[in-house]
Structure 1
């Protein structure tokens, strides 16, 4: 089934693509699909929030090798927490298809831990039929350079040494470390937005959390050679002990540190008008991530809106379908305590 002769006969390779909110996972997958060269790829997309933006973007990408039946969405917030109920049955259904995929690609929620997913591939239900080819962690280079996750690790370590009560990482730092510790390859995305000196700094921060021999690549707009991305032959489910996790002792975690909600608005006059309304709200409330779709007056196409912090981007992806209601729908993600009422009022303007 696989084009990789190193994969055991009958086993379908799976690649886990992880990384924090807005790092560029969906862009990387879109580039992969555009260069699949006839390889049948099935996608499992998980999102934190009740608006399935990433799956919708991929379904609307117009790539021949990406049919709607090839994209499976799990909008339950975190597949790493519902492996038995949601994730394993989904993988089994893909494997049981009359014409199974050549490769399975799993895009985790930006708040998910990759290790529980890797562990799931060791379960008897799927172990003999598939293997984790590799865990790819996509990093938002500018966000790391700006200190979103750990601006000064040495200073943080010194603070912990001086104060015994500081024995836990911040939620963002913990996620950053978890996603790097499980990686077989790290992609520093948005490299075009950083000069060489800042890129070197980001690579140094990332390298502190990696296992030996894990490679770091640079990319822009998620463009990574498919031959590099797929075919790592890591068999990660057999290598769990080397993939350190904050939750190894307890075996569980939750996402009480984060929250999300969606907002529906009417049409917007222009993309710039919508972004001008969003930026002050994001800044005032420390919103981590905004993404969704907008209807622009007089435009037949749907506008995709994506933001990491105050860095916002937008583009038109496809025409609105006749059965769809033209509206602006956005999901806001932030740390627990996000003032939903104030944000709703502000964006409604």
Structure 2
């Protein structure tokens, strides 16, 4: 309704979001007549794929089934990963500077086996020219049938597979000790994501952290002089009390 409305609106979803429910919202009459989905962009964490974070080991699963064929072997992370790929109009393979050419080629070969073939570009630190990702003219809301999902026909708002909570953080004695604690927690509890900030003794700036598994990036940043906090995301059943205890004991 603005005199000069924006040409594009970029919607960044959660890394664990299912894309099709959002696309379906653009089919609502009040939205459809005024907006279209120019394209769905999926950003892939290349090192996480190389580490096998998004896929089970098929041989290990087969052995588990032989031992107990009643066990549920669904991998919710793998399903979300595949849903996001199969809904995409463009895939950005990110953090490519952390892998060698052979590793990147293997990932790209795996992505090429998806039923939905889309363009793929490489990126470092998420740097992509906006001209590359805007103006795809995909009209994705009209193309839902060509975007398969593990959750088609189901309640697509099930985020019961995952859980998240916020941990309060006391002042930390040093950057090194804090990062070591985060790595310990990530490995001990198979944490998917952590993000937040902490106060470090003797430092005027707060320390911001972003973690994918046990891979952690950190940098000092401006911020209010409030207590630190950490958002922790993991599979359903991740125990906040156990995570807090593990962090305090590390």
Q: Give yes or no for TM over 0.5.
A: yes
Residue 216 of structure 1 corresponds to 120
* Alignment pair present for 1:344 and 2:249: no
Contact 1:132 1:236 in 2 (8 A): yes
Question: In the alignment, which of 6, 11, 14 is matched to residue 109 of structure 1?
Answer: 14
Unpaired runs of at least 5, structure 1: 1-95
Question: In the alignment, which of 27, 32, 40 is matched to residue 122 of structure 1?
Answer: 27
* Alignment pair present for 1:327 and 2:227: yes
Give the number of aligned pairs: 248
Choose 103-112 or 159-168, whichever is displaced more.
Answer: 159-168
Q: 1:192 to 1:252 in 2, by over 3 A?
A: same
Residue 225 of structure 1 corresponds to 129
Residue 167 of structure 2 corresponds to 263
Unpaired runs of at least 5, structure 2: none
Question: In the alignment, which of 23, 30, 38 is matched to residue 133 of structure 1?
Answer: 38
C-alpha distance in structure 1 between counterparts of 2:169 and 2:40, whole Å:
37
* Alignment pair present for 1:238 and 2:142: yes
Secondary structure of 2:124 counterpart: coil
Question: In the alignment, which of 249, 252, 256 is matched to residue 153 of structure 2?
Answer: 249
Report the CA distance between 1:261 and its aligned residue: 0.9
C-alpha distance in structure 1 between counterparts of 2:61 and 2:136, whole Å:
34
Contact 2:56 2:75 in 1 (8 A): no
Q: 1:164 to 1:339 in 2, by over 3 A?
A: closer
C-alpha distance in structure 1 between counterparts of 2:70 and 2:42, whole Å:
31
TM-score, with structure 1 as normaliser: 0.65
* Alignment pair present for 1:278 and 2:178: no
Q: For 1:282-310, what per-residue CA distance to the aligned partner results, in whole angstroms no more than 9, with x for missing partners? A: 11111111111122233332321011111
Q: Detail structure 1 runs of 4+ shifted over 3 Å in the superposition.
A: 96-99, 155-169
Secondary structure of 1:115 counterpart: helix
TM-score, with structure 2 as normaliser: 0.90
C-alpha distance in structure 2 between counterparts of 1:330 and 1:173, whole Å:
25
Contact 1:247 1:253 in 2 (8 A): no
C-alpha distance in structure 1 between counterparts of 2:165 and 2:159, whole Å:
14
Contact 2:18 2:156 in 1 (8 A): no
Report the CA distance between 1:103 and its aligned residue: 1.4
Residue 197 of structure 2 corresponds to 293
Choose 183-192 or 203-212, whichever is displaced more.
Answer: 203-212
* Alignment pair present for 1:198 and 2:103: yes
